[in-house]
Amino acid sequence: MSRKSISGLVGIVVGGAWLANNYKYFDEQGFVAIGMPLLILVVGIVFFIQGRKSS
């Protein structure tokens, strides 16, 4: 596995865990609570896919 794939996998895990944790605040804060974790999750997925293609 390439370094980009590993970085993407870490982003997926961290972003997904943070997103799951912040869903309880979604009623109070709206998209502010899930914006950054969602961004990290999406970038992690993109990096994982790009790393798999380059291998």
How far apart (Å, rounded) are the C-alpha atoms in residues 21 and 28?
14
Helix axes 3-22 and 31-54, enclosed angle (nearest 10): 160
Q: What is the mean pLDDT of the chain?
A: 90
pLDDT greater than 70 at residue 55 = no
Between the two ends of the chain, the Cα-to-Cα distance in Å is: 7
pLDDT tens, position by position, 34-54: 899 999 999 999 999 998 887
The whole-number average pLDDT for the span 7-25 is 93
CB of 31 closer than 8 Å to CB of 49:
no
Helices (H), 1-30: 3-22, 26-29
Rg (CA), the chain: 13
Comparing 26 with 14, the larger pLDDT belongs to: 14
| Per-residue pLDDT at 53 | 84
pTM of the entire structure? 0.84
